[in-house]
Amino acid sequence: MARPRQLKGTLQDLHTTQLLHLINLAKKTGTLHIYEGVPTGREVIMGDGETRRPELQIGEERARVAFREGKLIYARLASQSDHLATVLHRAGKLNDVQHNIILNKAPRASDKALALLLINANYVSQADIIQSVQRYTLEIVYDLANWTKEPFIFEEGEQPPPDKITVPIDLENVIIEMIRRDSRDKMLLEALPNLDFALRFPESPAEKFAKGKVQLSVDEWRVVSFINGRNTIRQIAKACNMTEMGIRQIVYGLLSAGLVELVKPTAPDASKLGRRPGQVGGNMPQRPVIDKLINRIKSL
Amino acid sequence: MAVQTVKMVITGPYASGKTEFIRSISEIDVVSTDTKVSEGTYEATVKDQTTVAMDFGRITIDDDLVLYLFGTPGQRRFDFMWEILAEGMLGFVVMVDSTKPETFREAKSILETFRAYAPTPYVVAANKQDLEDAWPAEDLRIALRIDDNVKLLPCVAKDKEKVKVVLLELLYSILEEMDN
């Protein structure tokens, strides 16, 4: 079976942070296209079979964000020019006069060629260009966190035009920052309804927390310092003197960035329950019964 | 000697393919409590029948043992049936329509609800993998935040062989649990 080359959905079903989490964890390469949602006049039935909402079809493209091996490398809004001169102007690296001259004299110059020209002319440094492109890319992605219903298509393998300057950015920090900016309590309550779960570090935490790789706030480090696989989120909140929503926001950010994992309570011992699973009548079937089921289903 | 009966539950969001799954493997015509979806409604464009109480399929193992497959109703207003159906189950399958991201959140919620009913093994079936818009199973795992130790299996509910794989993987999980 051929693997699909696209992931389709709407930001109503998968928030931007969830998409970035998926791209980060799966180390995906491709481009996320986000479109204006145009109502079709029909309705979509949600998974509960009852709730409905207007069906949206894809309209004009509003934004595109590119990724390489799970890192953010490029973003643009349809409503904004992403010409390098404009990016540098927005970052304050070029003044109005310089910006206008470049746009008039080299409106079609590729970003890479223009970058070389500007560096050689001592208008800007290489670091200026990298920082400006990075800032521009991040501003767009952070803005996407406020989009809540647009249809999207993730095209696996698609990359930005070759003349564009791409700056790889780790998504962990982007996700954390997006969550910092996103104070919607409802989403946090939905994502972390139970504060009685403990937290643990994923495998190879040293790699994830390597110096300089993640930039945590003081409060985030305080929470991290209490993670031992046994302390519950509620206990950590108490120790750090944080509100429930405050700890939810921090833990959700750490979870979304893959820096910590929830330790769910182990399922109760079936033998201690009033009824035992497995048999309509009551007793748990023995191994030979399961073996019989396996052999029968194989033979169907 | 009385015939021993065991049961598995097939659950999941509305229109995720539960009835089709049971129909593919059951040796009897599935005993459905389907009702016709009203004509002219949007539901009618999704499916023409919906389960209101449960679906019921059977696989005779031998003279002494029968496996029952129970499918839960997909619509939330019939969720009072879930706990009744979950009682005494050997394990459960959570069906997810891989082409409908708008149902992923409900699928996760149903999964957590059934886990709370009974500490039995379960697997997740990423259904409709034969359709063009299907999300790959491994992307679904991340989107639904399903632990790596839970089996998430590509599935096409109308394909008996794929259904067999899902049921066998559930049974292997049950054996593993017995061994632990």
Q: What is the largest CA-CA distance in chain A?
A: 85
Q: Could you tell me the residue ranges of all domains in chain B? A: 4-179
A35 and A13 within one domain = yes
Contact yes or no for A21/A258 (Cβ under 8 A): yes
> Same domain, yes or no, for A207 and A257?
yes
Best mutation target among B1, B3, B5, B6 (most A Cβ atoms within 10 Å) is: B6
Alpha-carbon distance B67 to B61, whole Å? 7
Decide if A276 is inside a domain. no
DSSP-assigned beta bridge partners for residue A35:
A61
Q: What's the rounded Cα separation, in Å, for the pair A199 and A259?
A: 10
Instruction: From residue B31, give the alpha-carbon distance in Å to each of A132, B4, B133, B156.
Output: 64, 20, 31, 21
Residues A236, A214: one domain?
yes
Cα A164 to the chain's mean position, in Å? Answer: 23
Residue pair A113/A162 in contact by the 8 Å Cβ criterion: no
pLDDT the model gives residue A272: 43
**Structurally, how many domains does chain A consist of?**
2
Tokens 């780790």 belong to residue: A170
- Residues A22 and A161 occupy one common structural domain: yes
Provide, as residue numbers in chain A, all residues whose Cβ is less than 8 Å from the Cβ of B124: none
**Residues with Cβ within 8 Å of residue A240, at least 6 apart in sequence:** A219, A222, A223, A226, A247
What is the domain range of residue A218? 183-261
Are A152 and A70 in a shared domain?
A: yes
In a domain, A106, yes or no: no
CATH code for the domain in which residue A239 is found? 1.10.10
Q: Spell out the alpha helix ranges (H) of chain B.
A: 18-25, 43-46, 80-86, 104-117, 137-143, 160-179
- Specify whether A32 is located in the same domain as A133: yes
- Asked whether A165 and A129 are in contact (CB, 8 A), the reply is yes
Confidence of residue A211 (pLDDT cuts 50, 70, 90): low
Q: Are residues A188 and A168 in the same domain?
A: no
Chain A CA closest to residue B106: A47
- State which residue of chain A sits closest to B142, comparing Cα positions: A22
Same domain? For A141 and A74 the reply is: yes
Per the domain annotation, does A64 fall within a domain? yes
pLDDT > 60? residue B144: yes
| Amino acid of residue B107 | A
Average pLDDT over residues B133-152: 94
List A residues 231-290 in contact with B (Cβ-Cβ < 8 A). 267-270, 273, 275-282, 285, 287, 289-290
Structure-token pair, residue A175: 């996700």
Q: Residue A75: inside a domain, yes or no?
A: yes
A205 shares a domain with A150: no
In a domain? residue A288: no
Least confidently predicted of A50-64, A160-174, A210-224, B100-114: A210-224
pLDDT band for position B138 (50/70/90)? very high
Contact B10, B86 (CB under 8 A): no
Q: Are A166 and A193 contained in the same domain?
A: no
Task: Note whether A157 and A230 are same-domain residues.
Answer: no
Question: Per the domain annotation, does A292 fall within a domain?
Answer: no
Contacts of B62 in chain A (CB under 8 A): 292, 296
| Domain covering B4-179 in this structure, CATH number | 3.40.50.300
Q: Which of A116, A140, A172 is the last residue of a domain?
A: A172
pLDDT band at B46 (very low <50, low <70, confident <90, very high): low
Contacts of A258 in chain B (CB under 8 A): none
Q: Does A248 reside within a domain?
A: yes
* The overall pTM is greater than 0.80: no
List, for residues A84-125, the tens digit of each pLDDT value. 999 999 899 999 899 999 989 887 889 999 999 999 999 999
> Do A194 and A167 share a domain, yes or no?
no
Q: What is the pLDDT of residue A276?
A: 47
Q: Which of B106, B133, B168 sits opposite A294 (nearest CB)?
A: B168
User: Could you please report the per-residue DSSP string of A14-74?
Assistant: S-HHHHHHHHHHTT--EEEEEEEEEEEEEEEE-TTSS-EEEEEEEEEEEEEEEEETTEEEE
For residue A246, the tally of other CB atoms under 10 A from its CB is 15
Distance, C-alpha A125 to centroid of its chain: 31
- Does residue A232 lie in a domain region? yes
pLDDT, position A257: 85
Tokens of A180: 């910092």
